[in-house]
Structure 1
Amino acid sequence: METLAPDAKEELQLNRIKDTIQNVYENVSFYRKKFNENNITPDDIQSLTDVQKLPFTVKKDLRANYPFGLFARPINQIRRMHASSGTSGKPTVVGFSENDLNVWAEIVARAIRACGGEPGGVLHNAYGYGLFTGGLGIHYGSERLGMATVPVSGGNTERQITLIEDFKPTVITGTPTYVLNIVDKMEKMGKDPRKTSLKYGIFGAEAWSEELRNNLEERLDIKAMDIYGLSEVMGPGVAIECKEAQDGLHIADDHFYVEVINPETLKPVPEGEEGELVFTSLTKEALPIIRYRTGDVASITREPCKCGRTSIRMSRVKGRIDDMLIIRGVNVFPSEIESVLLSIEELAPHYKLIISQDGALEKLLLKVEMDEQMYEVIGQNLEDVKVKHLSEKISRKLKSSCLVTINTQIEPPGMIPRTEGKAIRIVREKKTSSVAN
């Protein structure tokens, strides 16, 4: 399936899209109503380009139909449910039939294999378990592949290090920022992260830069691959980088149909051009999703990959549309700021961007953390002239690469809070701040 000829893949996709459209039309009143409002029936979908006739689905649709309004199967056929945290309103709920779980495990097993995992090996899973799909998604895929799976979840970093030393895994999975915390802790304990048994890392659940990949690869002596997924579409495994190329993520396009649209015009963009990723599920039974607008910015390519897989590849996610900052008329993603900061050797790979409101204006403060060696060189004196030069260097690089000027505050090592899951890079303060832009 991973090396299927493009024509055969498109035929498979079309047949599966037709089945999915029939499923939602018959079993999900939300979609049947939307189709009828747009004068669409399942018979109108006769080619892949006909998918563009279908209405989009957005996150608020899942919230509006909380909890089970978008399920295409009765609750007695549901075998698992996951949900978002619901911190910004009602959570989004996703359900899986028994067949959905089997398909998901197979997709993730393929993904882990593409990253270097092998039957008989050991996988250290530092993704969070629970309602979040990451931990269990990786877990069952790893077991399906035939790996001994360590369900350590996030947190308790010293114990994680002990298990890595004692169980000798070859693969580690987790958010890149939390695995970075594990590396930092190892070094503080006087241990050399390069001397573990680890060979491959599978990192995702947050946008991360090429510079952070290089940092993790160098300090852990591994190959680090990006994995993509989101609960509304399935969970981890929707797309994965291969260890041979590490050049774009192979979409499991026998199970997901991808489009890239201009988020303003909602029209498709040319191949290779960045836009918003849109996914339609092809094989999900319990919660099929039609043209789901992910909010993630990336591009796609059909160019051959040296690993031999023929699937469509997506670029690494640049960021989310709702995370994009507009600084004095310039659009900037946090990942672009991260790329600049991680290219400066005097800085540690930890930062926080604080946004405050002063009337109609947004004011920004970028807090960055100094590298420990730099901190020792200046004798822990943040008033040192070297620190002033470092601040000027950061400003120059941000201006050159991102075309923005951001007030920067340099912090001692360890002052930026660490997280056990997704990193909190952007903080929006409600009260007016005295921070200068």
Structure 2
Amino acid sequence: MSYKKVETSDREELRELQVERLRDTVENAYENVEFYRDQLDEMGVTPEDIQSVEDVRKLPTTTKEDFRDEYPDGLFAVDSEDVTRLHASSGTTGKPKIVAYTDDDIKVWSEVVARSLAASGAEAGDTIQNAYGYGLFTGGLGLHYGIEELGATVIPIGGGQTQRQVELMIDLESDVFTCTPSYALYLAETAEEMGHDPVDLPISTIIFGAEPCTDPMREEIEERLGVNGIDIYGLSEIVGPGVSCECHEAQEGLHIWEDRFLPEVVDPHTGEPVEEGEEGELILTTLSKEALPVLRYRTGDLTTLNYEECECGRTMVRMDNVTGRADDLLIVRGVNLYPSEIEHVILDLDGVAPHYRIDLYREESLDVMELTVEMEEGTTQSRQSLEAEITERLENVLQFSPDELDLVEPGGIARSKVGKVQRVYDHRK
């Protein structure tokens, strides 16, 4: 069942709403953000030129570098007294990206998260345990406000404290758990160490996001915890979590809430639009952000769009699970690889746990890759046969094999107790 009527609206009606909101967004950006006004003037584009959804292609793109160049508030469209809240990205690769919200922005954010929760199957009256980090990271508070908007009960425990997570989950009979996919597996491991069968935990749904989750990893989460795994997507620059979410009825792509966010998919190299169903880089334009209107943000995430009506009845476009990032491309000895490609190959094998690590080095001007893979608990395969199978599969599927393959026992790869897990360590920089 949809949370808002607009989710099942006729697409022509939706297009009319999108055009109206797109024009208002461009006007807000033009009048109140010098960065955008200068770019639009240079391109000879005015808000009046926006007459259709396709006219979004007349607009300049925005990148994460623009956020950092305009740090801290160069992209804000409102004065500081109108800002209700500030969030920020981690800033691990430079200055953090600062994002702002007005009162109305918070209301819209809460609504799209509530929509996402409803699509996942959560209902008013459910108890939802929120293990996303609270603070500058948008995950914790974004989910928190959406849970309250839905009318559910929130347990605001945040990240970490995994033994306590398990205890509270059991004692308070949590229905839904929200976290990163890697943390879901860590929770299962911790529950086992505490003497609990993870399948017997009371949760029936895990809503995971903030990092990519391949199909093998999803299957591992669902099997080990006996839950329905739902993928939620968002990014701080656009709003935070709640840009899109899977529906529990179909789980065939994530519905983008198109009345609030206008999606495009383009060739990451040329910037030109790709054919429907073809993979490319996701670009998003906000349609109702007051404090921080964002025009054509290049997310770097690779996906496809499917405009067919879903079996759940929603007409809003579905994006495929993010398969990788345009800026995560690894070039090793002239071979182009995405970590997600390696992950798909190795995690599809029996005897392998959904934990791996890639280390890149440069030795005497040559690139060297070391791949560490964790063996599955209870596997009967020998280390030698598993190494041979992984090497053969990588060679056959990707025409590539690592310089060193290291198989480690279950639990041999360090876990992150909270937040995102880093899979690639590039020591060449």
2:58 counterpart of 1:53: yes
2:176 aligned partner: 171
The letter for the 2-side match of 1:265 is T
Q: Which of 421, 424, 436 is matched with 2:422 structurally?
A: 424
Find the aligned partners of 1:340 and 1:266 in 2 and give their Cα distance: 29
Find the aligned partners of 2:280 and 2:395 in 1 and give their Cα distance: 24
What secondary structure, in the 3-state scheme, does the structure 1 residue paired with 2:202 have? coil
- Structure 2: gaps (5+ residues): 1-5
Q: Which of 340, 349, 354 is matched with 1:344 structurally?
A: 349
What secondary structure, in the 3-state scheme, does the structure 2 residue paired with 1:2 have? helix
1:185 aligned partner: 190
Report the Cα offset of residue 150 of structure 1. 0.8
Deviation track 1:348-399 (CA, whole Å, cap 9, x = no partner) reads: 221111011224432101111122323xx68xxxxxxx21111001111222
Q: Matches of residues 275-290 of structure 1 in structure 2 within 5 Å?
A: 275-290=280-295
What secondary structure, in the 3-state scheme, does the structure 2 residue paired with 1:283 have? coil
What percent of counterpart residues are identical?
48
TM-score normalized with structure 1 length? 0.94
Q: In terms of mean alpha carbon deviation, does 329-338 or 88-97 score higher?
A: 329-338
1:238 aligned partner: 243
Deviation track 1:294-315 (CA, whole Å, cap 9, x = no partner) reads: 1000010101110000001111
2:396 counterpart of 1:391: no
Q: Which of 186, 202, 214 is matched with 1:197 structurally?
A: 202
What secondary structure, in the 3-state scheme, does the structure 2 residue paired with 1:365 have? strand
Report the Cα offset of residue 403 of structure 1. 3.0
The letter for the 2-side match of 1:89 is G
The letter for the 2-side match of 1:245 is A
2:415 counterpart of 1:410: no
Report the Cα offset of residue 329 of structure 1. 4.3
Q: Which of 352, 355, 361 is matched with 1:356 structurally?
A: 361
Q: In terms of mean alpha carbon deviation, does 165-174 or 401-410 score higher?
A: 401-410
Find the aligned partners of 1:201 and 1:28 in 2 and give their Cα distance: 39
CA contact under 8 A between 1:208 and 1:335: conserved in structure 2? no
What secondary structure, in the 3-state scheme, does the structure 2 residue paired with 1:250 have? strand
Find the aligned partners of 2:106 and 2:134 in 1 and give their Cα distance: 16
CA RMSD across the alignment: 1.3
Find the aligned partners of 1:47 and 1:348 in 2 and give their Cα distance: 48
Q: Matches of residues 245-260 of structure 1 in structure 2 within 5 Å?
A: 245-260=250-265
Find the aligned partners of 2:268 and 2:151 in 1 and give their Cα distance: 41
Aligned length: 422
The letter for the 2-side match of 1:409 is D
CA contact under 8 A between 1:327 and 1:404: conserved in structure 2? no
Report the Cα offset of residue 39 of structure 1. 1.0
2:138 aligned partner: 133
Deviation track 1:182-231 (CA, whole Å, cap 9, x = no partner) reads: 00111222211111111111111111100111111111111101111000
Deviation track 1:168-189 (CA, whole Å, cap 9, x = no partner) reads: 1111111000111000111222
Report the Cα offset of residue 330 of structure 1. 4.0
Alpha carbons of structure 1 residues 359 and 57: separation in structure 2 relative to 1, 3 Å: farther
Q: In terms of mean alpha carbon deviation, does 399-408 or 102-111 score higher?
A: 399-408
Find the aligned partners of 1:253 and 1:127 in 2 and give their Cα distance: 25
What secondary structure, in the 3-state scheme, does the structure 1 residue paired with 2:111 have? helix
CA contact under 8 A between 2:77 and 2:292: conserved in structure 1? yes
Q: Which of 366, 378, 382 is matched with 2:371 structurally?
A: 366
What secondary structure, in the 3-state scheme, does the structure 2 residue paired with 1:373 have? coil
- Structure 1: gaps (5+ residues): 379-385, 432-437
1:32 aligned partner: 37
Find the aligned partners of 2:109 and 2:319 in 1 and give their Cα distance: 19
What secondary structure, in the 3-state scheme, does the structure 1 residue paired with 2:345 have? helix
What secondary structure, in the 3-state scheme, does the structure 1 residue paired with 2:312 have? coil
Q: Matches of residues 293-312 of structure 1 in structure 2 within 5 Å?
A: 293-312=298-317
CA contact under 8 A between 1:209 and 1:336: conserved in structure 2? no
Find the aligned partners of 2:383 and 2:412 in 1 and give their Cα distance: 16
CA contact under 8 A between 1:133 and 1:235: conserved in structure 2? yes
Q: Which of 208, 213, 218 is matched with 2:213 structurally?
A: 208
Report the Cα offset of residue 133 of structure 1. 0.5
Q: Which of 81, 85, 94 is matched with 1:80 structurally?
A: 85
1:69 aligned partner: 74
Find the aligned partners of 2:160 and 2:282 in 1 and give their Cα distance: 31
The letter for the 2-side match of 1:423 is V
Deviation track 1:116-160 (CA, whole Å, cap 9, x = no partner) reads: 110001001111111110111111001100111011111111111
Alpha carbons of structure 1 residues 359 and 46: separation in structure 2 relative to 1, 3 Å: farther
Find the aligned partners of 1:160 and 1:417 in 2 and give their Cα distance: 20
Q: In terms of mean alpha carbon deviation, does 16-25 or 188-197 score higher?
A: 188-197
2:9 aligned partner: 4
Find the aligned partners of 1:366 and 1:389 in 2 and give their Cα distance: 16
Find the aligned partners of 2:269 and 2:21 in 1 and give their Cα distance: 29
Find the aligned partners of 1:61 and 1:8 in 2 and give their Cα distance: 33
